[in-house]
Chains A and B, each alone.
Chain A
Amino acid sequence: MISERMLNLTVIGGLLAVALAALVLDQPFTITLATRVAILSLAAVGLNIALGLGGLVSFGHAAFFGIGGYAMGILAYHAQTYTPLDLGLFTVAGTKSMPVIWLVAMVLSALAALLIGLLALRTSGVYFIMITLAFAQMFYYFTLSWSAYGGEDGLSIYIRNGFPGLNTLVPIQFFGICFVILCAALYLFHRLEHAPFGLALGSARQAPMRVETVGLSPMRLRLVAFVLSGAITGLAGALFADLNRFVSPTMFSWHMSGELIVLIILGGVARLIGPVIGAVLFVVLEHYLGGMTEFWKIWLGVILLLIVLFARGGVAGLLSPRKVGHD
């Protein structure tokens, strides 16, 4: 049993240490795995704002992940083909600059989260789950039939996008970018959780009637949480696409949405470090179990079942238990 703070530092420090050790030992593939962990963690930290703090079981966060991915794919595609991007009223040039791409990815996913949130938050419970799932699927089918950007085949980007002053093609440098963004997102999550907004949002999850009777609107709190959450997951999507130098409709698939929730649950719901632990476990399982058997997801399913039925706090809960109110 260790303190939560210690656990957080160990996990984050461990991720950095693995990447640095891989650099020293000249194991670029391990650095890529660590980068994958950082990006998936980031996506799940985004989801954790809605799911953990706000109690909103979004089964459609692949929508934002995919929008981020396609924002990167489309901007970079126009840059690499030297064709302008036609937006109807005017055209813009594509770009290979990461900061610009991130901004576009976050704005677009926030906008999508606003629209989906406005509709889905009119309902709650199972409706909310099914509606978020359905809207993500809408994007999936849309990109599947969007032949201008590769349809089912997706879009390949030949050279990773650039960041001023860095060579993003060097694995450890790209890892550094993702790691710093992850740390920033974790810090943001931590501040949010303890800020007035976090208190109001958490109360709206536990006792929505109370929040209303002190004059606050649970719906608006949730909507803001959902938009923030979508923007961060969208940013992760842009980075994920850059890691693979490829985007395709599978980023929108509902398995993606499910896996993001799984990351959080494996790690521990509403725990700051939960998503990172979950992502580490997921990538390790995927890599090692996947190396042993093609059917590794059976075992992922079994592990998940056991956690849901018998270990509600996830791994963070096992390592650093914290009392959670049940009634």
Chain B
Amino acid sequence: MSFILIVEQVLNGLQFGVMLFLMAAGLTLIFGVMGLINLAHGSLYMVGAFAAAAVAGWTGSFLLALLAALMAAALAGAIIEMVVIRRLYATDHLDQVLATFALILVFSEGTRWVFGSFPLFLDIPDYLSGPVTLPGGIQYPLYRLTLIVVGLLVGLGLWALIERTRLGIQIRAGENDREMIAALGVDISKLYTLVFALGAALAGLAGALVGAIQSVQVGMGEPVLILAFVVIVIGGIGSIKGAFIGALLVGLTDTLGGIFLPELFKLVMSPAAATSFGSSLASIGIYLLMAAVLIWRPTGLFGARA
């Protein structure tokens, strides 16, 4: 177990974490502002990845592919918000869960219909491929490092948007008092569509970025969606800061647990048993983390106190 391996794994954990953050930020924003639980958020991730793969295949440009991912996901988000989601704001969570579950079925099977069941591939562009040498002589893939940077930049941008802009003021007001912002003359249904599309765009971006290191296939958004839920439970609903901290915690726990737990158990049991037990335990590590947070703080690290 070398220092280099540890650094590599920490970076992998961060990379995974910031991508989870892109998902979780949109979800938590949508919940905070509209009070809506959106299971179909993973579908928007998938839409982003497919749009990117299709446009990259067509034009060969990775940047255009990313742009397409953002636009396709935002557009899909705006459309489902206007057609379905806005009818759900006033209903209970059961209806929201069911309707958005129904949307997943429509999106997943619809995508399978159009693109088939075989995974598509999205290539990393030449200028981002290959390793880069970090201080200390550590070689790390440039693309993954780029993902970390992009994720952090988007996080920073989101923070600036919410804290520093007029739209951000409206969003924060919407979290606290709907009637107030309606009284201030803000068009609330337009605001909701915008917030939903923003969340969707973030998910679509994550899908496209991750799609280049994994395969682009139907259902790819679902495991990520559930991890994003874990992130939100840990961070606290409605809190962007909570989503950020939670995402990094989940990313690091998941990545590091898979590497270090088997090693840890080798100290006390046979290598074969340690590998099997350690990797089983690592597969549920983040859920144990979530359980611990729930015992300690049922409303999450940064959630509103009951």
Contacts and interface: CB of A to CB of B under 8 A. Distances in A.
Chains A and B in contact, CB within 8 Å: yes
B299 A123 contact: yes
A145 B279 contact: yes
A295 B97 contact: no
Nearest to B27: A130
B286 to A, nearest CB: 8
B193 interface: no
Interface stretch (A1-9, A105-113, A132-140, A182-190): A132-140
Interface in A100-137: 119-120, 122-123, 125-127, 129-131, 133-135, 137
B274 to A, nearest CB: 14
Range class of the A interface residue count:
35 or more
B243 to A, nearest CB: 13
A141 B103 contact: no
Given A144-B283, A147-B276, A126 B31 contact: yes
A134 B105 contact: no
Contacts of A258: 39, 101, 104
A134 B229 contact: yes
B84 A309 contact: yes
B127 interface: no
B97 A129 contact: yes
Contacts of A57: 93-94, 97
A259 B113 CA distance: 21
A261 B291 contact: no
A305 interface: yes
A130 B229 contact: yes
Interface in B250-306: 276, 279-280, 283-284, 287, 290-291, 294-295, 298-299
A262 interface: yes
Contacts of B37: 126, 129-130
Interface string A183-218: 000000000000000000000000000000000000
Contacts of B39: 258
A308 B95 contact: yes
A51 B226 CA distance: 21
B103 A301 contact: yes
A289 to B, nearest CB: 11
B182 to A, nearest CB: 22
Of residues A137, A146, A261, A312, which shows the largest number of chain B Cβ atoms within 10 Å of its Cβ? A137
A218 B248 CA distance: 35
A119 B97 contact: no
Interface string B206-235: 000000000000000011001001101100
A29 to B, nearest CB: 25
A295 B284 contact: no
Nearest to A134: B230
Given A261-B101, A265-B98, A301-B102, A127 B109 contact: no
A148 B279 CA distance: 13
A254 B222 contact: yes
Given A301-B103, A309-B84, 14 more contacts: A123-B299, A127-B233, A130-B229, A130-B230, A133-B229, A135-B291, A254-B226, A262-B101, A265-B98, A295-B112, A301-B106, A304-B102, A304-B105, A308-B98
The 8 A-B pairs with the shortest beta carbon distances in the complex, nearest first, are: A301-B105, A138-B287, A304-B102, A301-B106, A130-B229, A122-B298, A301-B102, A141-B283
